[in-house]
């Protein structure tokens, strides 16, 4: 039996590779002679670089609070072209900040711009920016500052390279931007399709998760609307109509307008780069999963992306998760079964302990595969007797 295991990370607990290893251990206990292929996955968010083949380039950049931090980018081939893949979470990520430091009102994406500049300076003319996991909500303006944009407040004073420039933006000038930008193809790999502003936009949907209060969310949303007007005046792009422009606090919108880029599905990009389709074609069963499975998983998350591909090739697919949302029924058309790995009554902190999560993922995979192989054997016996 050929089994493909293609999970995302269980965020805050296990990497995609660790989840896959735990599931594979359980499958092997249930079916010792199974051919198991583990393909760690990502959807354009945090951890994307870790699952892709390529060469890492290390560099020092500014973190969201403009402190020095080590980051990297991945060099590889994409659609036949030399490409630099940059993960915004490495420079602008929530995990770079202590709990008490988290506030979208005081952080920016300047370090992301420094990552992009390093790739441009090295000669890369195709750059993919992996969105997701950001601590920021600056509409990508900090990124643009690092690439040479001059931002001005309503007194025509240049906005300093600290804090959130979105809150002060009144105008900008792109006369001194990096000379390679206009000859570079930019892609933004996203796991969400939210608009730039409004009730479904970057501020209202994501800023609360980054510790903004309701008044701050209103202020951020108004500032995003101002930035959208500036982008349209300068580049003729209505970012509000670009799906995914609200990703990573609005970085998607800055990529689409100021950098002239395109927003693509992160999970579809990863599927292509890791060659998952060829593995699924040979599989008898596909197993996937992520930390939380709910209605939001339909918006570009790994399990649904993997399940769609499995169904395209008429393969059974099951999903495991640390948590199942109340609206998990919306996912039933894509899976043959959806299961929580929780087998004990634990606190959230206990359940997310890496050792506990790995054990429960392994145990759940083992029990499901025992049931699956037993049913498969009975079906085969019935077919032969008939």
| C-alpha radius of gyration, the chain, whole number | 22
**Beta-carbon contacts of residue 325 (< 8 Å; ≥ 6 apart):** 292, 293, 294, 295, 296
- Tokens linked to 221: 């949303």
Cβ-proximal residues to 58 (8 Å cutoff; 6+ apart), any chain: 70, 71, 72
Same-domain status, 197 and 127: yes
Q: Which of 260, 273, 261 is nearest to 43 (CA)?
A: 273
Residues 149 and 293 in one domain: no
162 and 55 in a common domain: yes
Q: Using CA atoms in the order 165, 169, 174, 176, what is the torsion angle rounded to 10 degrees?
A: -50
85 is a domain residue: yes
Task: Report the distance separating Cα 246 and Cα 195, nearest Å.
Answer: 5
Distance CA 321, CA 341 (A): 6
Report the DSSP beta bridge partners of residue 72: 58
Phi, psi values for residue 68, rounded to 5°: -70, 135
What percentage of the chain exceeds 90 in pLDDT? 88
Residue 203 lies in a domain: yes
Domain shared by 133 and 221, yes or no: yes
> How many Å apart are CA 152 and CA 118, to the nearest integer?
25
How many structural domains are present in the chain?
A: 2
Contacts 24+ apart (CB under 8 A), 71-80: 71/111, 71/114, 71/115, 73/49, 73/115, 73/118, 73/119, 74/49, 75/124, 76/52, 76/273, 78/126, 78/128, 78/269, 78/273
Co-location of 153 and 22 in the same domain: no
Would you state the pLDDT for residue 198? 97
- pLDDT at res. 45: 81
370 & 289 share domain: yes
Residues lower than pLDDT 50 in the chain:
none
Question: Do 89 and 230 sit in the same domain of this protein?
Answer: yes
Structural domain boundaries enclosing 199? 49-266
Whole-angstrom Cα distance, residue 171 to residue 159? 10
- Model pLDDT for residues 299-320, shown as the tens digit of each residue: 778 999 999 999 999 999 999 9
Residues 150 and 32 in one domain: no
Q: What is the CATH number for 350?
A: 3.40.50.10350
Question: Dmax of the chain from CA atoms?
Answer: 85
- For residues 12 and 56, membership in a common domain is answered with no
127 plus 257 within the same structural domain: yes
Vertex 282: Cα angle to 281 and 288 (nearest 5)? 75
Q: How confident is the model at residue 279, as a pLDDT?
A: 98
Query: Rounded to two decimals, what is the model's pTM?
Result: 0.91
Position 44 in a domain? no
Q: Is residue 342 part of a domain?
A: yes
8 A C-beta contact, residue 91 and residue 69: yes
- On whether residue 119 sits in a domain, the answer given is yes
**132 & 241 share domain:** yes
**pLDDT, position 290:** 95
Quick one: tokens of 93?
């990520």
Q: What is the pLDDT of residue 373?
A: 85
pLDDT of residue 11: 87
pLDDT at 69: 96
């Amino acid at each position: 039996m050929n089994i493909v295991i293609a999970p995302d990370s269980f965020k805050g607990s296990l990497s995609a590779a660790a989840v896959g290893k735990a599931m594979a251990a359980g499958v092997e206990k249930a079916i010792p002679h199974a051919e198991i292929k583990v393909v760690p996955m990502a959807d354009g968010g945090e951890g994307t670089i870790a699952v892709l083949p390529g060469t890492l380039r290390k560099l020092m950049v500014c973190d969201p609070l403009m402190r020095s931090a080590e980051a990297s980018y991945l060099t590889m081939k994409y659609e036949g072209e030399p490409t630099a893949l940059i993960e915004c979470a490495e420079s602008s990520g929530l995990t770079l900040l202590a709990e008490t430091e988290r506030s979208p009102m005081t952080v920016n994406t300047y370090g992301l711009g420094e990552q992009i500049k390093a790739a441009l300076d090295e000669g890369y003319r195709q750059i993919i920016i992996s969105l997701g996991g950001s601590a920021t909500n600056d509409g990508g303006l900090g990124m643009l500052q690092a690439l040479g944009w001059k931002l001005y407040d309503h007194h025509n004073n240049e906005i300093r390279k600290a804090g959130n420039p979105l809150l002060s933006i009144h105008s900008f000038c792109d006369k001194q931007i990096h000379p390679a930008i206009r000859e570079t193809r930019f892609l933004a790999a996203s796991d969400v399709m939210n608009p730039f502003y409004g009730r479904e936009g970057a501020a209202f949907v994501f800023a609360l998760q980054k510790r903004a209060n309701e008044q701050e969310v209103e202020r951020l949303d108004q500032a995003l609307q101002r930035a959208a007007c500036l982008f349209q005046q300068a580049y003729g792009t209505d970012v509000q109509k670009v799906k995914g422009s609200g990703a990573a606090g609005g970085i998607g919108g800055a990529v689409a307008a100021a950098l002239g880029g395109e927003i693509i599905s992160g999970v579809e990009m990863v599927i292509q780069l890791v060659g998952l389709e060829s593995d699924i074609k040979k599989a008898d069963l596909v197993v996937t999963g992520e930390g939380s499975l709910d209605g939001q998983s339909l918006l570009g998350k790994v399990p649904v992306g993997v399940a769609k591909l499995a169904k395209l090739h008429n393969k059974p697919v099951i999903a495991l998760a640390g948590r199942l949302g109340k609206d998990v029924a919306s996912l039933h058309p894509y899976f043959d079964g959806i299961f929580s790995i929780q087998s004990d009554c634990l606190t959230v902190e206990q359940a997310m302990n890496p050792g506990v999560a790995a054990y429960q993922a392994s145990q759940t995979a083992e029990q499901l595969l025992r049931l699956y192989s037993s049913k498969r054997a009975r079906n085969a016996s019935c077919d032969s007797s008939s």
